[in-house]
Chains A and B, each alone.
Chain A
Amino acid sequence: MRRWYRTATLIIAKQELAAALRGRMILAFGGLFATLAIGIALAGLGASGQLLVQGFTRTAVSLLTLALYLLPMLGLILGASAFGGDDGGVELLLAQPISRTEALAGRALGLAAALAVVSLGGFALAGVVVLVGAGAVGAGGFLLAAFGATLVGLVGLSIGVLIGIVVRRRGAAVGWALAAWVTAAVLFDLAAIAVLQITGDGQPGPWLVTLLAINPIDGVRALALVGLGADVLLGPTGAALHRMLGPGGGALWVAGSLVMWLVLPSVAGAAVFRRRDF
């Protein structure tokens, strides 16, 4: 009988994590995110005396904006390039006496762990800077922001894995992954503004929650702003956000959407992966 830590999924996850941490992509994204995170923390400290939002809270808001662009992109590219095309490695892996679900779950878990290292590592470095320079006030909200940003990165990974499995050619898979990122991180906001203009004379309303629930990047951003108390900086929009997400109903919608975006692409990817010929 195998011990739990020697199951095929964990053996593969461990190896995938080690390979990812040695890879150029994680090193590049990790280095960039860590550098910018420390920079933001230092900049936040410099200005913290003059602003209402201080220390951890101010850093969390700024860092979240960066993380919600960078981490979904990393997740999408990481997943699409790992599963797009077969360089022969997957074939040898699947020729072992393991199930396809174990192989897929192991690889995805390893990549997820690598993404979490990048995300939580960056937040941790910034956190240390803030803790030393400004104390622990607002650390809870900062942790929440780190957790939310990591979740959005994992949503990106889940979608990236699905793209890689379906598209099968690495270059094309990465292209589709980047298109998905541009849509979610850039184009969606423009479309959302247009929808709000058409449906509610530009004022936030029920449509806003719906739009936030559809796009996990915007959903987590809005939830975190409310959670951190930074919505006060956003005027009427912030007040509307607080009204809709603060008491819990809207927040549940956004949380449900996050879970859905994590689970659905994974389930769809697994279904295709199990039936695919290699």
Chain B
Amino acid sequence: MIRYEQFTKRFGAVTAVESLDLALEEGETMALIGPNGSGKTTTLKAALGLIRPTSGRVLVEGRDAARDGRDARSRIGYLPQRLVFPDGMTAREVLRFYAELRGVEPELRLLDRVGLLEAADRDVNGFSGGMRQRLGIAVALLGSPSVLVLDEPTASLDPSGALAVRDMIHAIRADGTAVLLSSHDLAEVAALADRVGVFVGGRLGALGTPAELARSLGLAVGTLVSTATGLESIYRRIAVAHPQLVA
């Protein structure tokens, strides 16, 4: 679905992502974890052509995301880390606006699917963080894309909001849609992801199922779901195993 081939991105002297080879398979859910600034968001944005590779390329169902961006983006639904909708619009108008841009029908069932049908005619400026995020998912699902790219979908939500969004992602992957997401929440990653990629210093330090990852790092599987301590432990062990990644 999405294939990174020797993808490298530099911002001036800073290398955000170095020589990434990675493939998201059909129907797969892959989570990218890593410290802030490790290259997760750059990697996600490159699939949408929002960030151009310094070298290498990113293919979305065979289309080069940088050169055939419009075509590549028509296959991807995207939820950015910071979600801002146009001012003064209702949820229904937001859905209609993005549906028109995608050239598809504004399916109201999507608002129903994310539990916002009753709020369809409310101004989105008055929405809670969780409601905005759910509306963002509805927008991302317009036109039934084959891949969803979600940048920290639950980062700014309270526990109940995060749970609701997580349930939605569960339902989406059950429909066979491939999902590529970034997260700092190991419980979320362990619950949702078929495979986990760990970024350290702009490089992919480890890749595998949650169980494989825990095993290869000499961790109990439970460590993967024990909050930030687990994350630090993973990054530390990867850094020890691959010192060149953080050099």
List residues of chain A with CB within 8 A of the CB of B103: 2, 97
- Asked if B88 contacts A96 (CB within 8 A), the reply is no
Docked Cα-Cα span, A127 to B45, in Å, equals 51
With A19-B87, A23-B87, A95-B76 already in contact, the answer to whether A277 and B70 are too (CB < 8 A) is: no
Q: Which B residues are CB-close (under 8 A) to A15? A: 86, 89, 97
Assembly CA distance A6 to B70 (angstroms): 17
- Knowing A19-B88, A22-B88, A96-B101 touch, does A91 contact B51 (C-beta < 8 A)? no
- Docked pose: A236 CA to B64 CA in angstroms: 65
Partner of B50, one of A12, A89, A97, A278: A278
- The segment from B21-29, B77-85, B197-205 found at the interface with A is B77-85
- Give the complex CA separation of A18 and B90 in angstroms: 13
Given A19-B87, A22-B87, A277-B52, are A92 and B78 also a contact pair (CB < 8 Å)? yes
Question: Using a CB-CB cutoff of 8 Å, which residues 66-81 of chain A contact chain B?
Answer: none
Q: Given A15-B86, A87-B82, A87-B84, A99 and B50 touching (CB < 8 A)?
A: no
A120 within 8 A of partner (CB): no
Residues of B within 8 A of A87 (CB): 82, 84
* A11-B97 contact, Cβ under 8 Å, with A92-B78, A277-B51, A278-B50: yes
B71 within 8 A of A: yes
Contact of A98 with B by CB under 8 A: yes
Instruction: Tell me whether A12 and B101 are in contact (CB under 8 A).
Output: yes
CB of B40 closer than 8 Å to a CB of A = no
Hey, which chain A residues are within 8 Å of B134, CB to CB? none
For chain B residues 28-61, which have a beta carbon within 8 Å of chain A?
A: 45, 48-52
Q: Does A52 contact B (CB under 8 A)?
A: no
Which of A22, A97, A277 has the largest number of chain B CB atoms within 10 A? A97
Whether A95 pairs with B88 at a CB distance below 8 angstroms is no
Contact with B along A5-23 (1 / 0, CB 8 A): 0101001100100110011
A12 to B11: give the CA distance in the assembly, Å. Answer: 30
CB contacts (< 8 Å) of A88 on chain B: these are 80-84
Instruction: Determine if A94 is an interface residue (Cβ-Cβ < 8 Å).
Output: yes
Contacts of B242 in A (CB 8 A): none
Docked CA distance A277–B53 (Å): 10
Instruction: Provide the bound-state CA to CA distance between A275 and B49, in Å.
Output: 11
Point out the residues of chain A lying under 8 angstroms from B102, CB to CB: 96-97
Interface on A for B, CB 8 Å cutoff?
A: 2, 6, 8, 11-12, 15, 18-19, 22-23, 87-89, 91-99, 275, 277-278
Beyond A11-B100, A87-B84, A88-B80, list 16 extra A-B contacts (CB 8 Å).
A2-B103, A11-B97, A12-B101, A15-B89, A88-B81, A92-B83, A93-B101, A95-B48, A95-B73, A95-B76, A97-B70, A98-B73, A275-B52, A277-B11, A277-B50, A278-B45
Question: Can you identify 12 A-B contacts, CB atoms within 8 angstroms?
Answer: A11-B100, A23-B87, A88-B81, A88-B82, A88-B83, A89-B84, A94-B50, A96-B101, A275-B52, A277-B11, A277-B51, A278-B45
